[in-house]
Structure 1
């Protein structure tokens, strides 16, 4: 009989461990009760039982049954010496604990959840089925279990111990923010998510794998999405629904950035191992954001203060990096990171391909019979962030980011090896920011953000024989402050009211020493904005309505920008989506063919003047249908977009309009399709975009012609497969039409203009390059040096089949025959391998 009673008690104990321990009592109190009930005396060390709490026995028990119950609940040995004394001793100083972590609502397992012992480097992550085991855990240890998008939970080691080796079932509750926003938890690959407002979010800590990538590079990753292209394979030239790269608003921890790429656009300038979360919006943007008439790319770093030091380091065939998160106190933490190229120390096949791709068709890569050249190129970036929580209601953040690219170049005469030319190019962006979040009541909160951003590109070109020094500079200085006030009217409706002020200054300067020449142009613009927004999310309806009023003091101009974002679930499988926005942009990049930076960087930032460079404005609408069933997601979206106020000088024309000044517009319209099927071990997708994109410049003849990035058909597909829990592969391909170009008039290829011979171009953008095709693949292998030290080995190959893709074509006059022209073809990357190795702790 006693055996059955004990079995019943153990069952009750096991069931109780599967729930949150809300009715526990201190073990010392329970011992006191037992001593009085049975007139016995317990002998124990206070420190062994002081931190332990358990549930009281549910039914009346004998002394023998009570001791058996206690032995089943805690890692202590209760032993009756006689009917008067009971001794209590520690079985082991350390012992194993285990658990199975799952989602509260769906009960699905949560692989990759973090399990850490507080104030210790010991920890692990959950396996594919959500299970974990920790060995050698101290009796008084506290264990924190966390997962991105979920509220963390803390347990004592005793709560996770089971005498019957039955691992406790632990459920995590989605955080309120994520619960309201996440629509698709795994979008193409783990770490990519789709939010209910249509934006795409990359969580780099959970990132799986994408074809060809060895890091979760956000500016590379988003190119897997329909409607996002890079016609020249450059991160510095991402085209979202037909826009140019300067029409993408880049924010890093609320700091506006004016530079996006290392290696002149082939590598993201933002360390993916520090940038925890990236949100990409193509349309229907919140009224809190302006600029970026094509898209908003909002990057953020760690915002939570940890309990232990954590970090990581890694190296690939291009760069090495390290980061560390250091809790200085319970409410204070310092996060720092640094990354630097290794290409000036070691030559790799990856570097060679990137170098040739970046510097083709420039002086840097042009050895000739009468000279040879040398060059030294490197880049680095760094970040630092201070996190301070005054209390549960108020938090302060301060951060800095620095980005630098440097190139040194020299020419030597082959006749006597004397130095004939020395050139230098430096490209930098540094930003400082701070924020204060205050939760004043349960329903009212504020966020105050301020930042300073500085972008510089400086070049010097010294001609030794003539003692001529040429210097060129482009500088951007911007300060901004924004105040957001949030009011939670109820569980379904929230309101936002805000104010923002920005002051932007830009400098363009050119000087020559012999003959003496100097040109300097400075512009400053002040912009005030107020905005309001309402967000409603209940049952099957999501609605966000907002408006932004922008006032430009210099031009005494007011722009009103409405925003709308609606999603209606019409059945369990189908939903309709409507988005629309008006936006403006006051800074743009012009392309200067005559006065470029060493032939490498031709773009300069300039401010609008409301005359020959007007404020760019966009109007965009899109409508789509979504289908979701059994982890199959299908999206079909049609869009229409007009951007007015673009200039000929920021389009980079290689035609008869190359050196003309004019402003006009472009109209992009099309359809985007994406189908994505995910399962336990694989994810596969196919995306397709059909679009037309045409310029309209009233002062040109013809006035309407195809856009430089008019890609009518574009498709991508991919397949990810988990061979093992720790071994993953990814294969994918891209195909699209070749971009438009302009050929010379056949039989009359050049024309004389005074003493100059120019290419006589035919109708603008009337021809297309051959189709672009590329196949990429990558793998990822995870292993542990210890429970607290994780390692990842990744490898990838871009363009496996070594396709000879031409990504741009223009013409120049043949120096040996002024009546003919020479075609200049810019090529994409050939077959390019890369390998990375990372260690995180």
Structure 2
């Protein structure tokens, strides 16, 4: 076969030109290929035919070179003719908006094409698309996304990135306990669930179970609705979900968290030195946040365990918006698993659900829970964004009480429900290189309701506790320099609390509503030195409670100093207050399962709770070793006996008092390869002071003097393993006087308050997770865990009651026994 050069081909006589369409018909007969084209596209195109000795592929190459068309040969002997794809060039320089320094290795995406910047912050890429969304991302800076039309611009772009708000709150310790748990320069401990590995006994990343891994934090009764931080009660924790205050924290009436970890990306715990932007929570602040970035592709997760089923999607809506939705529901409607049975028995223990009055039986017990969460993000432009958050959660328990009365069998239904619904709208605006603002409005509603029947007395008892809060927050950020930021803001809240007790026979109704409005302004300075060795957070918050015409000023401080290459010193202090607290009217309120109800301060019998706290610590980190030691002192005034959960002689006493707590938290961690070992120890000394009680000072109900937590984990590419134990001193308890258990008035005769202790608590847990990888992005996670492997019988509470014979009877509340769980999760 003779191959002619292009020069000789082009040298043919132009008078020999023929219509291109005729030439294609000739090629079809000669070579057996079929040409697919638009006749309007070919038009009256003419061309000098190639040499007849050329092969088919050479002839196609000739046509591409001498026409304005693109020829694509397919495997089924078709040739597609189309207009050639044009190529465009996009270039630009990426710089810091604050310092003006070029940002090397920033990621740039335009359509499906991507590249990174060089050392001078310069990028260049070629694309077949002349318009679309150009996205620039860089660690520590806000993502910059905007619509760009190449045809309207001939010069290289000049793009400046703004530092993220958390730039001054940099991580100082990565993997504080395990991967995904970090310590921040503001003193907070943060869990990033997108990087989180595994803790013993947990195969699902339960938000409020996970924070109990931190030193100084535990639950006196193993629930997420009773988390005790440095001797405080659970209601003294401010719980925020995207800056929306939440008054309910648990499903199964406290055994698991209501916050879905699939949509909750980060959770930060602040025990002290809280930002002046926050109020309430005299013991701690637990702040959860959803993802702050738009997604450009669809992702999802579906999972099931012995407790619940769970679904999550994250999907773009156009080019400027994306939405995340997460839903979860109890498995009890489909099957009753060993885990479900263990949880149900735990919440029903020593309550009317478990055992009713003589001759009354309980049957048809049904329990269900669900939650739904939504986050919608809309990038209005490169300077403004809108965020909408919604969360709803519910628990419902129903059972039937039956009895034979006057030879007639009677049955009625008792029920208990706990519901929360909350939503918030946030608008964020970056006005210029230095100034930005955030406006937020939110509403949160909580309702606890019990419908209790008494067949023997033909009586119905209705109880309700409702909290409704509306808040408005304006927050301004001004960068005085690249290392100094000034924050200012205004916060308004209106909180209404309703309590109802309604009996139909005899008719009794106790209904009251309390409303409190609070106006607050705050200011705060954030300083971080250029060498990143010094961090100072100094703020003050002014609160005005209009109902009482009362002003409260609260200074806050957080200081962090690197005093050597591997050694850091820190100190935090704060004054805080809170106007809502949980009280107990009777231990059998709400069927005895949930006996705490929210109450607003009246500035008298229920005082405003005030706290003072200071803490200081050292941390050393080198070659995988971490040693963290922190001492603290906390004083909280304005508590009441009804808020502390007494089950002794002070159960029905209504007195005001205070408590103080001091102690030390110690953590040792070592990493090597894929292994991670940690051990923590906490010492706590906490005492009540009630001037009106016979014992003015005695140990707090939450004074667990010594506690130790230790574990080891392993992580490879696809396998995670974790095992560990928890041990702590038994909680204080009050015994009866031996040999004289009932006094002359026929009442229980108690010894000195909290003079004894329950047996020590011990629990050993294990968990495992294995990931199976399919074609991207599909993965399958298989998990298994065992809580309390040795089935240790831990007593977490006890109390005494007089039975029908007026003799004492002890009631003992046990912790969860051995609880297995398995899970399966598909990521796509």
TM-score clears 0.5? yes
* Structure 2: gaps spanning 5 or more residues: 1-57, 76-106, 115-126, 146-160
Shift of 1:601: 1.1
Deviation at residue 187 of structure 1 after TM alignment: 2.2
Alpha carbons 2:566, 2:621 under 8 Å: kept: yes
- Conserved 8 A contact 1:362-1:599: yes
Matched, 1:216 2:209: no
Q: Is 1:748 matched up with 2:740?
A: yes
1:767 shift after superposition: 0.2
What is the rounded CA distance, in whole Å, between the counterparts of 1:142 and 1:479 in structure 2? 37
Give the direction of change, closer, same or farther, for the CA distance of 1:758–1:492 in structure 2 (3 Å limit): same
Aligned to 1:459: 450
Task: Give distance in 1, aligned partners of 2:534 and 2:623.
Answer: 21
Residue 264 of structure 1 aligns to a residue whose secondary structure is coil
Q: Distance in 2 between matches of 1:371 and 1:509?
A: 26
Residues 575 and 117 of structure 1: CA distance in aligned 2, closer, same or farther (over 3 Å): closer
Alignment CA distance shift 1:348-1:419 (3 Å): farther
Change (3 A) 1:677 1:150: farther
Structure number, greater radius of gyration:
2
Is this contact kept in 2: 1:278–1:300, CA < 8 A? Answer: yes
Residues 309/695 of structure 1: CA separation in 2 closer, same or farther (3 Å cut): same
Post-superposition shift, 1:432?
1.3
- 1:420–1:463 CA contact under 8 A, matched in 2: no
1:433 has 2:420 as partner: no
Alignment partner for residue 387 of structure 2, among 368, 391, 397?
397
Q: 1:526 pairs with 517, 528, 531, which one? A: 517
TM-score by length of 1: 0.79
Corresponding residue for residue 26 of structure 2: none
Matches of 2:466 and 2:780 in 1, distance apart?
41
| Residues 1:505 and 2:496 aligned together | yes
Q: Provide structure 1 residue ranges, at least 5 long, that are not aligned to the other structure.
A: 1-76, 94-114, 124-137, 155-171
Q: Is the 8 A contact 2:301 2:825 kept in 1?
A: yes
Alignment partners' CA distance in 1, 2:291 and 2:73: 40
Q: Is the 8 A contact 2:387 2:426 kept in 1?
A: yes
Match of 2:713 among 720, 744, 749: 720
Out of 223, 233, 241, the position equivalent to 1:252 is: 241
Aligned to 2:339, the other structure's residue is in SS state helix
Do the aligned partners of 1:216 and 1:272 also contact (CA within 8 Å) in 2?
A: yes
Matched residue, 2:231: 242
Q: Distance in 2 between matches of 1:715 and 1:641?
A: 21
The CA distance in 1 between the partners of 2:591 and 2:571, in whole Å, is: 46
Task: Name the counterpart of 2:798.
Answer: 809
Query: Does the C-alpha gap of structure 1 residues 807 and 91 become closer, same or farther in structure 2, counting only changes over 3 Å?
Result: farther
TM-aligned CA distance change 1:152 to 1:629, over 3 Å: farther
Determine if the alignment matches structure 1 residue 496 to structure 2 residue 487: yes
The whole-number CA distance in structure 2 between the counterparts of 1:149 and 1:441 is 18
Cα deviation, residue 419, structure 1: 3.4
Distance 1:423 1:368, change over 3 A: closer
Distance in 2 separating the partners of 1:365 and 1:669: 39
- 8 Å contact kept, 1:369–1:414: no
Shift of 1:463: 3.3
Is 1:481 equivalent to 2:472 in the alignment?
yes
Change (3 A) 1:714 1:118: farther
Structure 2 partner of 1:419: 410
TM-superposed deviation, 1:784:
2.1
1:263-290 deviations in Å (ceiling 9; x for gaps): 0100001111111111110000000001
Q: Distance in 1 between matches of 2:162 and 2:621?
A: 23
Residue 216 of structure 1 aligns to a residue whose secondary structure is coil
Q: Could you report, residue by residue, the CA deviation over 1:768-793 in whole angstroms, capped at 9, with x for unpaired residues?
A: 11110000010111122321112211
Normalised to the residue count of structure 2, the TM-score between the two structures is 0.81
2:346 equivalent in structure 1: 357
SS at match of 2:194: helix
3-state DSSP of counterpart to 1:220? helix
1:516 partnered with 2:507: yes
1:570 aligned partner? 563
- Residues 718/150 of structure 1: CA separation in 2 closer, same or farther (3 Å cut): farther
Hey, what does 1:765 align to over in structure 2?
A: 754
> How far apart, in 1, do the equivalents of 2:286 and 2:723 lie?
26
Q: Partners of 1:319 and 1:603 in 2: how far apart? A: 26
Query: Which residue is 1:737 aligned to?
Result: 729
Structure 2 Cα separation of the partners of residues 803 and 397 of structure 1: 46
CA contact (8 A) 1:119 1:307 kept: no
User: Could you tell me which residue of structure 2 aligns to residue 690 of structure 1?
Assistant: 683
Per-residue deviation, 1:679: 3.2
Mapping 1:511-660, distance limit 5 Å? 511-538=502-529, 539=531, 540-593=533-586, 596-660=589-653
Residue in structure 1 matching 2:190, options 198, 201, 205: 201
**Of residues 271, 281, 285 in structure 1, which corresponds to 2:270?**
281
- For residues 72 and 771 of structure 2, what CA distance do their matches in structure 1 show? 37
- Equivalent runs, 1:11-26 vs 2, <5 Å: none
Aligned match of 1:190: 179
CA RMSD of aligned residues (A): 3.0
Farther off after superposition, 142-151 or 191-200: 142-151
**Secondary structure in 2 matching 1:598:** helix
Contact 2:168 2:528 in 1 (8 A): no
Q: Tell me how many residue pairs correspond in the alignment.
A: 704
Which residue of the other structure, out of 809, 812, 815, is the alignment partner of 1:828? 815
Q: Choose 409-418 or 197-206, whichever is displaced more.
A: 409-418
